[in-house]
Structure 1
Amino acid sequence: MTAPVRPLPDLGTLTWDQSAGRACIWCKKLLTTGAVSVGIIRGQLGAHVLDTEVWAGPCCAVAQPQ
């Protein structure tokens, strides 16, 4: 399974669970098994790098034909 190609939300709109990789990036359901990495949201605040890897659960991930 791979996550669908969708634009990632802004870093400032994420909940704590989403930014910590504990919840689906799109539907906010807590992740248990079958999570798929969907990318990294890049961010910076002065010298502080705020890059965050985000995940989608099986709820929002779809199988892609190969």
Structure 2
Amino acid sequence: MVSVVVLFFILFTVFIFYSINSMTNKLCVQKEIPDERQQKVFRTINILILILLVSSYVEVLYT
């Protein structure tokens, strides 16, 4: 049972990161954010998404 949940979350995480990074890239292009700041924007968003995904995984695992 746990392995199915882990597999689901890994696939879900890949999809979420791809989607969010795609939207972040479009935002950076649309708002004309300089290249120097883009790296910081991507890093911040990815860290926040990672925290969200880890917390949801822990909640599902222990509920």
What TM-score range do you get, normalising by the shorter chain?
under 0.3
User: Normalising to structure 2: TM-score of the pair?
Assistant: 0.27
Using CA pairs below 8 Å that are at least 6 residues apart, which structure has the higher relative contact order?
Answer: 2
Q: Which structure would you say has the larger Rg?
A: 2
User: Normalising to structure 1: TM-score of the pair?
Assistant: 0.26
